[in-house]
Amino acid sequence: MTIAVEATRPFHESIIDVLPIANGSQLTILADLIKRTAIPKNHDAIIAAWTRRTLDMHSPDYGVSEYLQRQKEQAAFTARITTGC
């Protein structure tokens, strides 16, 4: 069996494609996965996609938006330290 590696993308990109088709139980699993993952960028797009889907599914947020906002702030802080700005 051969897996096409060239079709893979970073989590922070591929999650955007998965969220619009996730059902309720999948959202629960994705929430857990997102909150266990260090996400370096694309926070706003993920928050928007997550919010759209949870509203469409009448699903709770599971703390994902808050987690992603903290990740975004941490990434900005790290960038400031790294660049000296």
Distances (CA, A) of 6 to 3, 10, 16, 42: 9, 11, 18, 21
- 74 inside domain: yes
- 70 inside domain: yes
- 26 inside domain: yes
pTM for the predicted model, two decimal places: 0.85
pLDDT digits (tens, 9 = 90+) for 30-81: 999 999 999 999 999 999 999 999 999 999 999 999 999 999 999 999 888 8
If one counts the domains in the chain, the total is 1
- 15 inside domain: yes
Q: Is the pLDDT of residue 3 over 70?
A: no
- 2 inside domain: no
Find the distance separating the first CA and the last CA of the chain, reported in whole Å.
Answer: 49
- 65 inside domain: yes
Q: Is the pLDDT of residue 5 over 70?
A: no
CA distance 43 to 49: 10
Domain containing 68 equals 10-83
Q: What angle do CA 58, 29, 73 make, to 5 degrees?
A: 85
- 62 inside domain: yes
- 31 inside domain: yes
